Chains A and B, each alone.
Chain A
Protein backbone atom coordinates (compact mmCIF):
# COMPACT_ATOMS: atom_id res chain seq x y z
CA UNK A 1 0.00 0.00 0.00
CA UNK A 2 1.14 3.58 -0.68
CA UNK A 3 2.54 5.88 2.03
CA UNK A 4 -0.40 7.29 4.00
CA UNK A 5 -0.89 11.07 3.88
CA UNK A 6 -1.45 11.03 7.63
CA UNK A 7 0.29 8.38 9.67
CA UNK A 8 -0.12 8.55 13.45
CA UNK A 9 1.47 5.79 15.55
CA UNK A 10 1.18 5.30 19.30
CA UNK A 11 0.61 9.00 19.89
CA UNK A 12 0.35 9.95 23.57
CA UNK A 13 0.21 13.46 24.95
CA UNK A 14 -0.26 15.13 28.32
CA UNK A 15 -0.77 18.87 28.79
CA UNK A 16 1.76 20.71 30.98
CA UNK A 17 -0.81 20.79 33.81
CA UNK A 18 -0.66 16.97 33.91
CA UNK A 19 -3.99 16.32 32.20
CA UNK A 20 -3.41 13.49 29.75
CA UNK A 21 -5.47 13.83 26.60
CA UNK A 22 -4.16 11.08 24.31
CA UNK A 23 -3.18 7.53 25.31
CA UNK A 24 -1.63 5.91 22.26
CA UNK A 25 -3.55 6.85 19.13
CA UNK A 26 -3.01 4.97 15.85
CA UNK A 27 -4.58 6.16 12.66
CA UNK A 28 -3.78 6.59 9.02
CA UNK A 29 -5.46 8.42 6.17
CA UNK A 30 -4.61 7.71 2.55
CA UNK A 31 -4.59 10.08 -0.42
CA UNK A 32 -8.05 10.90 -1.74
CA UNK A 33 -9.92 9.63 1.33
CA UNK A 34 -12.51 11.62 3.24
CA UNK A 35 -12.47 10.52 6.86
CA UNK A 36 -14.59 11.72 9.78
CA UNK A 37 -13.09 11.92 13.26
CA UNK A 38 -15.93 11.41 15.72
CA UNK A 39 -16.06 11.38 19.48
CA UNK A 40 -17.70 12.99 22.51
CA UNK A 41 -16.56 16.30 23.98
CA UNK A 42 -13.21 15.96 25.70
CA UNK A 43 -12.24 12.85 23.75
CA UNK A 44 -9.01 14.52 22.57
CA UNK A 45 -10.04 15.27 18.98
CA UNK A 46 -8.71 18.82 18.95
CA UNK A 47 -5.53 17.76 20.75
CA UNK A 48 -5.00 15.15 18.06
CA UNK A 49 -5.58 17.68 15.27
CA UNK A 50 -2.99 20.04 16.80
CA UNK A 51 -0.39 17.28 16.49
CA UNK A 52 -0.98 16.88 12.78
CA UNK A 53 0.86 20.08 11.89
CA UNK A 54 3.16 20.30 14.86
CA UNK A 55 1.38 22.93 16.97
CA UNK A 56 1.68 20.39 19.78
CA UNK A 57 4.61 18.02 19.98
CA UNK A 58 4.02 14.34 20.69
CA UNK A 59 4.85 13.18 24.21
CA UNK A 60 5.33 9.65 22.90
CA UNK A 61 4.73 8.04 19.50
CA UNK A 62 5.07 9.73 16.14
CA UNK A 63 3.19 11.57 13.44
CA UNK A 64 4.24 11.58 9.79
CA UNK A 65 2.75 13.40 6.80
CA UNK A 66 3.39 11.59 3.51
CA UNK A 67 6.38 9.96 5.12
CA UNK A 68 7.83 13.20 6.53
CA UNK A 69 7.98 13.08 10.34
CA UNK A 70 6.41 16.04 12.15
CA UNK A 71 9.45 17.51 13.88
CA UNK A 72 10.80 21.01 14.46
CA UNK A 73 13.08 21.09 11.43
CA UNK A 74 10.24 20.14 9.03
CA UNK A 75 7.56 22.45 10.46
CA UNK A 76 7.39 24.80 7.47
CA UNK A 77 7.06 21.92 5.00
CA UNK A 78 4.53 20.13 7.25
CA UNK A 79 2.34 23.24 7.58
CA UNK A 80 2.27 23.52 3.80
CA UNK A 81 1.13 19.90 3.57
CA UNK A 82 -1.49 19.87 6.34
CA UNK A 83 -4.11 22.61 6.16
CA UNK A 84 -6.17 23.06 9.31
CA UNK A 85 -9.41 25.03 9.20
CA UNK A 86 -10.34 26.05 12.73
CA UNK A 87 -13.85 26.14 14.05
CA UNK A 88 -14.34 29.89 14.45
CA UNK A 89 -13.73 31.74 11.16
CA UNK A 90 -13.01 34.90 13.16
CA UNK A 91 -9.91 33.18 14.49
CA UNK A 92 -8.77 32.37 10.99
CA UNK A 93 -9.55 35.60 9.16
CA UNK A 94 -7.58 38.39 10.76
CA UNK A 95 -6.57 40.74 7.95
CA UNK A 96 -8.34 43.65 6.28
CA UNK A 97 -9.60 42.02 3.11
CA UNK A 98 -10.49 38.53 1.92
CA UNK A 99 -7.64 38.74 -0.60
CA UNK A 100 -5.01 39.49 2.06
CA UNK A 101 -6.30 36.70 4.27
CA UNK A 102 -6.29 34.08 1.52
CA UNK A 103 -2.83 35.23 0.37
CA UNK A 104 -1.40 34.99 3.90
CA UNK A 105 -0.67 31.24 3.84
CA UNK A 106 0.81 30.94 0.33
CA UNK A 107 2.85 34.13 0.90
CA UNK A 108 4.33 32.49 3.99
CA UNK A 109 5.29 29.60 1.72
CA UNK A 110 7.28 32.13 -0.32
CA UNK A 111 4.92 32.76 -3.25
CA UNK A 112 4.73 36.24 -4.77
CA UNK A 113 3.22 38.08 -7.70
CA UNK A 114 1.17 36.35 -10.40
CA UNK A 115 1.49 32.87 -8.89
CA UNK A 116 0.19 34.20 -5.55
CA UNK A 117 -2.76 35.90 -7.29
CA UNK A 118 -3.56 32.69 -9.15
CA UNK A 119 -3.57 30.69 -5.91
CA UNK A 120 -5.86 33.24 -4.21
CA UNK A 121 -8.41 33.39 -7.02
CA UNK A 122 -8.29 29.61 -7.54
CA UNK A 123 -9.00 28.93 -3.88
CA UNK A 124 -11.82 31.48 -3.74
CA UNK A 125 -13.31 30.03 -6.94
CA UNK A 126 -13.36 26.57 -5.41
CA UNK A 127 -15.48 27.79 -2.48
CA UNK A 128 -17.61 30.11 -4.64
CA UNK A 129 -16.38 33.32 -2.98
CA UNK A 130 -14.41 34.91 -5.85
CA UNK A 131 -16.79 37.89 -6.00
CA UNK A 132 -15.94 38.86 -2.42
CA UNK A 133 -12.18 39.11 -2.89
CA UNK A 134 -11.88 42.78 -1.92
CA UNK A 135 -14.40 42.81 0.94
CA UNK A 136 -13.39 42.97 4.60
CA UNK A 137 -14.03 39.48 6.08
CA UNK A 138 -15.95 40.81 9.08
CA UNK A 139 -18.63 42.16 6.75
CA UNK A 140 -19.45 38.70 5.39
CA UNK A 141 -22.09 36.35 6.77
CA UNK A 142 -20.98 33.52 9.03
CA UNK A 143 -21.40 30.91 6.29
CA UNK A 144 -19.40 33.03 3.84
CA UNK A 145 -16.65 33.54 6.41
CA UNK A 146 -16.47 29.76 6.95
CA UNK A 147 -16.03 29.30 3.19
CA UNK A 148 -13.32 31.96 3.03
CA UNK A 149 -11.60 30.29 6.00
CA UNK A 150 -11.47 27.07 3.95
CA UNK A 151 -10.11 29.03 0.97
CA UNK A 152 -7.28 30.44 3.15
CA UNK A 153 -6.10 26.88 3.61
CA UNK A 154 -6.89 25.59 0.08
CA UNK A 155 -4.68 28.40 -1.29
CA UNK A 156 -1.71 26.63 0.28
CA UNK A 157 -2.59 23.55 -1.84
CA UNK A 158 -2.24 21.18 1.12
CA UNK A 159 -2.10 17.41 0.74
CA UNK A 160 -4.73 17.02 3.42
CA UNK A 161 -7.46 19.37 4.59
CA UNK A 162 -8.31 19.09 8.28
CA UNK A 163 -11.66 20.65 9.22
CA UNK A 164 -12.65 21.30 12.82
CA UNK A 165 -16.46 21.22 13.13
CA UNK A 166 -17.13 22.57 9.63
CA UNK A 167 -20.92 22.57 10.03
CA UNK A 168 -21.15 24.25 13.45
CA UNK A 169 -23.28 27.42 13.66
CA UNK A 170 -24.37 27.20 10.02
CA UNK A 171 -27.98 27.49 8.95
CA UNK A 172 -29.27 24.49 6.96
CA UNK A 173 -28.79 26.20 3.58
CA UNK A 174 -25.19 27.22 4.34
CA UNK A 175 -24.58 23.74 5.72
CA UNK A 176 -25.76 22.17 2.47
CA UNK A 177 -23.80 24.64 0.32
CA UNK A 178 -20.66 23.79 2.29
CA UNK A 179 -21.32 20.06 1.81
CA UNK A 180 -21.61 20.61 -1.96
CA UNK A 181 -18.31 22.50 -1.93
CA UNK A 182 -16.52 19.85 0.14
CA UNK A 183 -17.86 17.02 -2.07
CA UNK A 184 -16.58 18.89 -5.13
CA UNK A 185 -13.03 19.33 -3.79
CA UNK A 186 -10.42 16.93 -5.00
CA UNK A 187 -8.43 16.75 -1.77
CA UNK A 188 -7.92 14.37 1.13
CA UNK A 189 -10.13 15.42 4.04
CA UNK A 190 -10.08 14.69 7.76
CA UNK A 191 -13.17 16.18 9.34
CA UNK A 192 -13.66 16.52 13.09
CA UNK A 193 -17.37 16.69 13.82
CA UNK A 194 -20.29 16.06 16.14
CA UNK A 195 -22.66 16.32 13.21
CA UNK A 196 -23.17 12.62 12.48
CA UNK A 197 -25.51 13.00 9.47
CA UNK A 198 -22.90 15.34 7.96
CA UNK A 199 -20.20 12.71 8.55
CA UNK A 200 -22.39 10.11 6.85
CA UNK A 201 -23.07 12.38 3.90
CA UNK A 202 -19.45 13.44 3.33
CA UNK A 203 -17.15 10.76 4.71
CA UNK A 204 -17.24 7.08 3.70
CA UNK A 205 -14.98 6.21 6.64
CA UNK A 206 -15.09 7.22 10.32
CA UNK A 207 -12.66 7.02 13.19
CA UNK A 208 -14.11 7.20 16.71
CA UNK A 209 -11.88 8.70 19.39
CA UNK A 210 -12.93 8.29 23.00
CA UNK A 211 -10.97 9.08 26.17
CA UNK A 212 -7.76 9.48 24.18
CA UNK A 213 -7.83 6.20 22.22
CA UNK A 214 -9.26 5.08 18.89
CA UNK A 215 -12.21 2.80 19.64
CA UNK A 216 -13.47 2.26 16.11
CA UNK A 217 -12.19 2.72 12.56
CA UNK A 218 -14.78 1.53 10.05
CA UNK A 219 -17.20 2.68 7.41
CA UNK A 220 -19.32 5.57 8.69
CA UNK A 221 -22.46 3.56 8.03
CA UNK A 222 -21.19 0.68 10.23
CA UNK A 223 -20.27 3.07 13.04
CA UNK A 224 -23.59 4.89 13.02
CA UNK A 225 -25.60 1.66 12.98
CA UNK A 226 -23.62 0.02 15.82
CA UNK A 227 -25.91 0.97 18.73
CA UNK A 228 -23.67 -0.56 21.42
CA UNK A 229 -20.61 1.36 20.23
CA UNK A 230 -22.56 4.59 19.86
CA UNK A 231 -24.08 4.36 23.34
CA UNK A 232 -20.75 3.45 24.96
CA UNK A 233 -19.11 6.62 23.63
CA UNK A 234 -21.87 9.20 24.00
CA UNK A 235 -22.58 9.39 20.29
CA UNK A 236 -26.19 9.98 19.35
CA UNK A 237 -27.99 10.46 16.09
CA UNK A 238 -30.48 13.32 15.82
CA UNK A 239 -34.05 12.31 16.59
CA UNK A 240 -35.71 10.51 13.70
CA UNK A 241 -32.50 10.03 11.72
CA UNK A 242 -31.91 6.46 10.56
CA UNK A 243 -28.86 5.75 8.36
CA UNK A 244 -30.48 2.52 7.13
CA UNK A 245 -33.21 4.47 5.40
CA UNK A 246 -30.85 6.57 3.28
CA UNK A 247 -30.52 5.09 -0.17
CA UNK A 248 -27.54 6.92 -1.65
CA UNK A 249 -24.42 6.84 0.51
CA UNK A 250 -21.05 8.25 -0.58
CA UNK A 251 -18.35 5.71 -1.19
Chain B
Protein backbone atom coordinates (compact mmCIF):
# COMPACT_ATOMS: atom_id res chain seq x y z
CA UNK B 1 0.00 0.00 0.00
CA UNK B 2 1.26 3.46 -0.86
CA UNK B 3 0.15 6.45 1.17
CA UNK B 4 0.69 10.04 -0.04
CA UNK B 5 3.84 8.98 -1.80
CA UNK B 6 6.05 11.68 -3.33
CA UNK B 7 8.86 10.55 -5.58
CA UNK B 8 11.75 12.77 -6.55
CA UNK B 9 15.28 12.73 -7.88
CA UNK B 10 16.94 15.53 -5.93
CA UNK B 11 14.86 18.63 -6.48
CA UNK B 12 12.97 17.15 -9.42
CA UNK B 13 9.61 15.77 -8.36
CA UNK B 14 8.46 12.86 -10.51
CA UNK B 15 5.14 12.04 -8.84
CA UNK B 16 3.33 13.42 -5.82
CA UNK B 17 0.50 12.30 -3.53
CA UNK B 18 0.27 8.80 -4.92
CA UNK B 19 -1.98 6.62 -2.76
CA UNK B 20 -3.31 3.16 -3.53
CA UNK B 21 -3.81 -0.26 -2.03
CA UNK B 22 -2.85 -3.49 -3.77
CA UNK B 23 -5.39 -6.24 -3.08
CA UNK B 24 -3.86 -9.59 -2.12
CA UNK B 25 -3.75 -12.22 -4.86
CA UNK B 26 -4.43 -9.88 -7.77
CA UNK B 27 -2.50 -8.56 -10.70
CA UNK B 28 -2.05 -4.86 -10.10
CA UNK B 29 -0.82 -2.77 -13.00
CA UNK B 30 0.96 0.57 -12.72
CA UNK B 31 0.44 2.20 -16.09
CA UNK B 32 1.28 5.46 -17.73
CA UNK B 33 3.19 6.96 -20.62
CA UNK B 34 6.95 6.95 -20.95
CA UNK B 35 8.72 9.05 -18.35
CA UNK B 36 5.74 9.42 -16.01
CA UNK B 37 7.52 7.70 -13.12
CA UNK B 38 6.17 4.15 -13.25
CA UNK B 39 9.55 2.50 -12.75
CA UNK B 40 10.46 5.11 -10.14
CA UNK B 41 7.35 4.17 -8.19
CA UNK B 42 8.32 0.51 -8.49
CA UNK B 43 11.82 1.29 -7.22
CA UNK B 44 10.30 3.02 -4.19
CA UNK B 45 8.07 0.01 -3.56
CA UNK B 46 10.91 -2.51 -3.68
CA UNK B 47 13.29 -0.50 -1.53
CA UNK B 48 15.69 0.86 -4.14
CA UNK B 49 14.66 4.52 -3.95
CA UNK B 50 13.64 6.28 -0.78
CA UNK B 51 10.54 8.38 -1.42
CA UNK B 52 10.74 12.12 -0.81
CA UNK B 53 7.51 11.86 1.17
CA UNK B 54 4.78 9.47 2.20
CA UNK B 55 4.93 5.79 3.06
CA UNK B 56 5.08 2.36 1.47
CA UNK B 57 3.28 -0.09 3.76
CA UNK B 58 3.37 -3.88 3.75
CA UNK B 59 0.73 -5.43 6.04
CA UNK B 60 0.71 -2.17 8.00
CA UNK B 61 4.50 -1.93 8.39
CA UNK B 62 6.09 1.15 6.87
CA UNK B 63 8.97 -0.11 4.75
CA UNK B 64 11.11 3.00 4.85
CA UNK B 65 10.53 3.59 8.57
CA UNK B 66 11.36 -0.01 9.47
CA UNK B 67 14.71 -1.09 10.90
CA UNK B 68 17.11 -3.00 8.61
CA UNK B 69 16.08 -6.45 9.95
CA UNK B 70 12.40 -5.72 9.39
CA UNK B 71 13.15 -4.41 5.92
CA UNK B 72 15.05 -7.57 5.08
CA UNK B 73 12.16 -9.73 6.22
CA UNK B 74 9.84 -7.68 3.99
CA UNK B 75 12.12 -7.83 0.95
CA UNK B 76 12.46 -11.56 1.54
CA UNK B 77 8.78 -11.79 0.49
CA UNK B 78 9.49 -10.06 -2.84
CA UNK B 79 10.44 -11.38 -6.19
CA UNK B 80 11.52 -8.78 -8.72
CA UNK B 81 11.88 -9.18 -12.45
CA UNK B 82 13.71 -6.23 -13.97
CA UNK B 83 13.12 -4.65 -17.36
CA UNK B 84 16.25 -6.05 -19.01
CA UNK B 85 16.18 -9.29 -17.02
CA UNK B 86 19.23 -8.29 -14.91
CA UNK B 87 20.47 -11.86 -14.96
CA UNK B 88 24.00 -12.26 -13.66
CA UNK B 89 26.01 -12.74 -16.80
CA UNK B 90 28.78 -14.81 -15.23
CA UNK B 91 26.30 -17.46 -14.02
CA UNK B 92 24.30 -20.05 -15.89
CA UNK B 93 20.51 -19.82 -15.86
CA UNK B 94 20.35 -22.60 -13.24
CA UNK B 95 22.88 -20.76 -11.07
CA UNK B 96 20.91 -17.54 -11.44
CA UNK B 97 17.77 -19.24 -10.15
CA UNK B 98 19.69 -21.18 -7.49
CA UNK B 99 21.39 -18.20 -5.87
CA UNK B 100 18.37 -16.93 -3.86
CA UNK B 101 17.67 -20.50 -2.74
CA UNK B 102 21.28 -20.97 -1.61
CA UNK B 103 21.13 -17.66 0.19
CA UNK B 104 17.81 -18.07 2.00
CA UNK B 105 17.10 -21.80 2.42
CA UNK B 106 18.86 -24.77 3.98
CA UNK B 107 18.22 -27.00 0.98
CA UNK B 108 21.07 -29.17 -0.27
CA UNK B 109 22.61 -28.82 -3.74
CA UNK B 110 20.45 -31.53 -5.37
CA UNK B 111 17.22 -30.07 -4.04
CA UNK B 112 18.21 -26.58 -5.17
CA UNK B 113 19.08 -27.92 -8.62
CA UNK B 114 15.68 -29.63 -8.83
CA UNK B 115 13.84 -26.44 -7.88
CA UNK B 116 15.91 -24.41 -10.36
CA UNK B 117 15.11 -26.95 -13.06
CA UNK B 118 11.40 -26.84 -12.18
CA UNK B 119 11.30 -23.04 -12.25
CA UNK B 120 13.00 -22.93 -15.62
CA UNK B 121 10.64 -25.63 -16.96
CA UNK B 122 7.66 -23.59 -15.71
CA UNK B 123 8.93 -20.72 -17.83
CA UNK B 124 9.37 -22.98 -20.85
CA UNK B 125 13.15 -23.20 -20.47
CA UNK B 126 13.57 -26.92 -19.76
CA UNK B 127 17.03 -28.05 -20.81
CA UNK B 128 18.54 -24.56 -20.76
CA UNK B 129 19.98 -24.88 -17.24
CA UNK B 130 23.61 -24.70 -18.35
CA UNK B 131 23.18 -21.76 -20.72
CA UNK B 132 24.56 -18.34 -19.92
CA UNK B 133 22.35 -15.25 -20.32
CA UNK B 134 24.43 -14.17 -23.32
CA UNK B 135 23.59 -17.47 -25.07
CA UNK B 136 19.81 -16.92 -25.16
CA UNK B 137 17.34 -14.51 -26.72
CA UNK B 138 15.77 -11.46 -25.07
CA UNK B 139 12.44 -13.23 -24.55
CA UNK B 140 14.16 -16.20 -22.95
CA UNK B 141 16.12 -13.87 -20.70
CA UNK B 142 12.86 -12.32 -19.51
CA UNK B 143 11.48 -15.76 -18.73
CA UNK B 144 14.70 -16.79 -16.98
CA UNK B 145 14.48 -13.58 -14.93
CA UNK B 146 10.93 -14.52 -13.99
CA UNK B 147 12.16 -17.99 -12.98
CA UNK B 148 14.72 -16.34 -10.70
CA UNK B 149 12.14 -13.92 -9.31
CA UNK B 150 9.84 -16.81 -8.39
CA UNK B 151 12.63 -19.03 -7.01
CA UNK B 152 11.57 -18.47 -3.40
CA UNK B 153 7.82 -18.59 -4.13
CA UNK B 154 7.43 -14.94 -3.14
CA UNK B 155 4.18 -13.50 -1.83
CA UNK B 156 4.57 -10.46 -4.08
CA UNK B 157 6.07 -10.45 -7.52
CA UNK B 158 7.15 -7.14 -9.06
CA UNK B 159 7.53 -7.02 -12.79
CA UNK B 160 9.02 -4.06 -14.65
CA UNK B 161 7.91 -3.81 -18.29
CA UNK B 162 7.41 -7.53 -18.98
CA UNK B 163 6.52 -7.01 -22.64
CA UNK B 164 9.20 -4.48 -23.53
CA UNK B 165 11.17 -5.63 -26.55
CA UNK B 166 9.25 -8.89 -26.99
CA UNK B 167 7.38 -10.16 -30.02
CA UNK B 168 3.58 -10.49 -29.60
CA UNK B 169 3.68 -14.27 -29.10
CA UNK B 170 6.39 -14.13 -26.42
CA UNK B 171 4.55 -11.24 -24.83
CA UNK B 172 1.29 -13.18 -24.79
CA UNK B 173 2.98 -16.22 -23.27
CA UNK B 174 4.48 -14.04 -20.55
CA UNK B 175 1.02 -12.61 -19.80
CA UNK B 176 -0.31 -16.16 -19.49
CA UNK B 177 2.50 -17.03 -17.11
CA UNK B 178 1.69 -14.03 -14.93
CA UNK B 179 -1.96 -15.05 -14.72
CA UNK B 180 -1.00 -18.67 -14.01
CA UNK B 181 1.26 -17.61 -11.14
CA UNK B 182 -1.59 -15.57 -9.68
CA UNK B 183 -4.12 -18.39 -10.04
CA UNK B 184 -1.96 -21.35 -9.06
CA UNK B 185 0.17 -19.93 -6.28
CA UNK B 186 -1.98 -17.04 -5.17
CA UNK B 187 0.82 -14.53 -5.74
CA UNK B 188 0.16 -10.82 -5.68
CA UNK B 189 1.71 -9.43 -8.82
CA UNK B 190 2.56 -5.79 -9.42
CA UNK B 191 3.33 -5.02 -13.04
CA UNK B 192 4.70 -1.80 -14.49
CA UNK B 193 3.80 -1.45 -18.15
CA UNK B 194 2.40 0.78 -20.84
CA UNK B 195 1.57 -2.08 -23.22
CA UNK B 196 -2.18 -1.84 -23.61
CA UNK B 197 -2.66 -5.38 -24.87
CA UNK B 198 -1.02 -6.73 -21.72
CA UNK B 199 -2.84 -4.27 -19.49
CA UNK B 200 -6.28 -5.38 -20.69
CA UNK B 201 -5.30 -9.06 -20.50
CA UNK B 202 -3.76 -9.28 -17.06
CA UNK B 203 -4.90 -6.38 -14.88
CA UNK B 204 -7.37 -7.01 -12.07
CA UNK B 205 -6.74 -3.51 -10.80
CA UNK B 206 -4.58 -0.61 -11.89
CA UNK B 207 -3.50 2.96 -11.44
CA UNK B 208 -2.67 5.44 -14.18
CA UNK B 209 0.15 7.94 -13.65
CA UNK B 210 0.36 11.16 -15.61
CA UNK B 211 3.63 12.88 -16.48
CA UNK B 212 2.19 16.39 -16.93
CA UNK B 213 0.25 16.63 -13.67
CA UNK B 214 2.81 14.42 -11.87
CA UNK B 215 0.00 12.63 -10.11
CA UNK B 216 -2.07 9.49 -10.25
CA UNK B 217 -5.11 10.28 -12.36
CA UNK B 218 -7.10 7.03 -12.27
CA UNK B 219 -7.59 3.89 -10.25
CA UNK B 220 -9.59 0.78 -11.20
CA UNK B 221 -9.84 -2.12 -13.62
CA UNK B 222 -8.64 -0.86 -17.03
CA UNK B 223 -11.75 -2.02 -18.91
CA UNK B 224 -13.96 -0.22 -16.35
CA UNK B 225 -11.84 2.91 -16.66
CA UNK B 226 -12.12 2.85 -20.43
CA UNK B 227 -15.89 2.51 -20.26
CA UNK B 228 -16.62 4.74 -17.32
CA UNK B 229 -13.93 7.37 -16.84
CA UNK B 230 -14.89 10.96 -17.49
CA UNK B 231 -11.25 12.07 -17.60
CA UNK B 232 -10.27 12.48 -21.27
CA UNK B 233 -6.60 11.74 -20.43
CA UNK B 234 -7.57 8.32 -19.09
CA UNK B 235 -9.79 7.50 -22.06
CA UNK B 236 -7.14 8.75 -24.48
CA UNK B 237 -4.41 6.63 -22.88
CA UNK B 238 -6.47 3.46 -22.75
CA UNK B 239 -7.94 3.79 -26.23
CA UNK B 240 -4.94 5.22 -28.08
CA UNK B 241 -3.17 1.92 -28.40
CA UNK B 242 -6.17 0.22 -29.93
CA UNK B 243 -6.67 3.05 -32.41
CA UNK B 244 -2.96 3.11 -33.13
CA UNK B 245 -2.84 -0.61 -33.87
CA UNK B 246 -5.89 -0.37 -36.12
CA UNK B 247 -4.51 2.62 -38.01
CA UNK B 248 -1.15 0.93 -38.47
CA UNK B 249 -2.68 -2.27 -39.83
CA UNK B 250 -4.89 -0.24 -42.24
CA UNK B 251 -1.86 1.61 -43.51
CA UNK B 252 0.00 -1.63 -44.12
CA UNK B 253 -2.91 -3.08 -46.08
CA UNK B 254 -3.21 0.09 -48.18
CA UNK B 255 0.47 0.27 -49.00
CA UNK B 256 2.01 -3.20 -48.96
CA UNK B 257 5.22 -1.90 -50.54
CA UNK B 258 5.75 0.29 -47.46
CA UNK B 259 6.41 -2.83 -45.42
CA UNK B 260 9.82 -3.33 -46.99
Partners in one complex: no
